[in-house]
Amino acid sequence: MSDVSSSSVASRSNTQRGDHSAPNSSGQGDASAGAGPQDRPRAVGRPARPRAGEIRDFLEQEIVTGERRPGERLDESAVAARFGVSRTPVREAINQLVSAGLVDQIPNRGAFVRGMGLAELVEMFEVMAELEGMAGRLAARRIGEGERKRLREAMAACAEAAESSDTDAYYYENERFHQAIYDSCGNAFLAAEARRLHIRLKAYRRLQLRVPQRMRQSLAEHQRIVAMIEAGDGEGAEAELKSHISVQGERFADLVASLKAPLPRG
């Protein structure tokens, strides 16, 4: 999907040998040479080994930044050895990537990285903006008190994550925020379609948040969206959500630049 720098090619070579470190939750690599995720200290309360969701996050970032090229096979055994886990969470992580459209599962051959053109990606963002806008417009008319409370709680959680400057934590609170809007729109079919496309674009939306200042901008946009929904301003909520999702102008340039950059390491 994008050109790969010489440093990215070197990283891919390490990936194929199974000896390079994965990024942590903030997108930074381990500073100790050869250290895998299983060798690094973890926060209190976190599991001793990466869960399927964490493995998926690492792999999807390698895919969208070009470290894993279209057509490259995902070797379950190599990935399991890299993360110090059994093949079960690896298989689950790969299945999630298949559902997200980033990987193709070919019977009797295995899982392979799926190529996605920039035009296809932009088209998906265009549709996502329309779906989100419609959900916001309906939510402004139909939101109930319980849903209003959940939306406020999601907004507060986004603000807390932004204060900690943790882009991945913010992304997952951001997911809850958008789910709260879907749950408030009163249209189950629209909510299901929006969720499906949200999953397809997850990796790219996470990548966007690593652009300097984007997380703070996103939080300000969330605040305006909530204000419009709570005021019952359907047209205003729709416009704010469309703008929030769209990848035009500088955001488009930032996204393209992110897709061409290797993951930061150490």
Domain 118-258: assigned CATH number: 1.20.120.530
The Cα 23–Cα 57 span in angstroms is 9
The Cα 115–Cα 63 span in angstroms is 9
Sign of the alpha-carbon torsion through 126, 128, 129, 134: positive
Q: How many CB atoms lie within 10 A of CB 174?
A: 23
DSSP 8-class letter at 29: P
The Cα 43–Cα 39 span in angstroms is 13
The Cα 210–Cα 254 span in angstroms is 10
What pTM was estimated for this model as a whole?
Answer: 0.68
Kindly report, residue by residue over 127-167, the tens digit of the pLDDT.
999 999 999 999 999 999 999 999 999 999 999 999 999 98
The pLDDT assigned to 261 comes to 47
The share of the chain scoring above pLDDT 90, in percent, equals: 53
Beta-bridge mates of residue 243: none
Mean pLDDT of 197-202: 88
The pLDDT assigned to 64 comes to 82
| Residue 265: closest CA among 47, 18, 67 | 67
Going by C-beta distance under 8 Å and a sequence separation of 6 or more, which residues neighbour residue 201?
Answer: 124, 125, 128
Of 50-59, 76-85, 221-230, the poorest mean pLDDT is in 50-59
Q: CATH number for the 6-113 domain, one of 1.10.1740.10, 2.40.70.10, 3.30.750.24, 1.10.10.10?
A: 1.10.10.10
Contact call for residues 238 and 134 (beta carbons, < 8 A): yes
* Element of type H or E holding 112: strand 110-113
The pLDDT assigned to 130 comes to 96
The pLDDT assigned to 177 comes to 97
The Cα 156–Cα 150 span in angstroms is 10
- Give the type of residue at 229: I
Ranges of each domain in the chain: 6-113, 118-258
Q: How confident is the model at residue 1 (pLDDT cuts 50, 70, 90)?
A: very low
The Cα 90–Cα 101 span in angstroms is 17
